[in-house]
Structure 1
Amino acid sequence: MGLFYRLMAAGAGGLLVVQALAAPPQWAVSKPFPDNPLQVAGLDGEATVGRSRFPARLELACRADSPPLRLSLHLSDQLGGWDVRPFEGPGGLGERRKLKLNMTGLRRGVDSHFAGWYEASGRFVFEWSSRGEFFAWQSATHKELLVTIDGASRKHGKLVARFALPPSNQAALAVAQPCMGKK
């Protein structure tokens, strides 16, 4: 194959990769358990601790027969020295502290107590109940959601998870609707 064709093929392959990386974020909806009313909408994002970056996942979970809407942040337990252990289980720091939810375009964030535990996969989960902040996500002016958790000590700094909100939140709204407004 000539040099021209090899360069064209390489360029086309690179263009496909760039297009895939630039795809807008989307909510992934699932029913984790058959014959169970639990529905989950998940959105991938990124967590940072200092200069270190890690994959993160935000999930909305609704079980219509057992509200309220639950939100959870799923992370690796290996966060560049940021210790998740003090947040685990009953008596964890999340019972005494609050995490912060901030959205671009909102003047004031929402603070919430939270719980923490390890999943069987080894990831760590922070979970809290929605107190209506989901309604704010419906506006097209909000493009990003930040979840901020202060470390167990000052030397650990902050964990910041960043999620680009999809252009349409209809999939997440369909999951959340049965639990919204119920406590």
Structure 2
Amino acid sequence: MSLTAPRLLAREELPHDTAALARHLIGKLVVRDLPEGRVSGRIVETEAYVVGDAAGHGFRGMTARNRSMFLERGHAYVYLAYGISFMLNVSSEAPGIGTGVLIRALEPLEGIPIMRLNRGVERLRDLTRGPGRLAAALRIDRSLDGLDLCQRGPLWLADDGHYAGEIGQSTRIGISKDAERLLRFHVRKNPFVSGPGSLNR
């Protein structure tokens, strides 16, 4: 149960280390303010893409596509994966360092009817379980790339004092480079976590 009303997550609260930030964000909120109302979800799964990570978009340096990944920690890096699904990432270290945390799954909280319309599905568990699904449910696209998530606006991070529960750690999903690294974090036994059950213990 939440202890307090959601408050803006301050940049000073965010760890400077990417893996530490990925763990820190578990239990926090992603808030999306839309013209028809607010939608939000609790972060239950993340993946870290750290310094020197061959699987990270910043590995080969800054480009027009990934430049938001090189912003100070706490900014949105949104990209289109395989020409199909948008992915929401949080830049994670000092300016000029291309690292980030992928938000992989949310537990839906506010605006569930809006999410259902955005996704075109009814089943609660399917609304935001997976990075492409959550971006669609919250209507996140490239127009939000580079946004400061530590300021109130159309998309921001929040904390409501919720205890996340037991956090598991595993290899990341759907990558081939540096695939053995334990850089995925999730709330154990949470039904809204994505991926195979073997990784969610």
TM exceeds 0.5?
A: no
- TM-score scaled by structure 2? 0.28
Q: Which has the larger radius of gyration?
A: 1
Larger proportion of helix? 1
Larger proportion of strand? 1
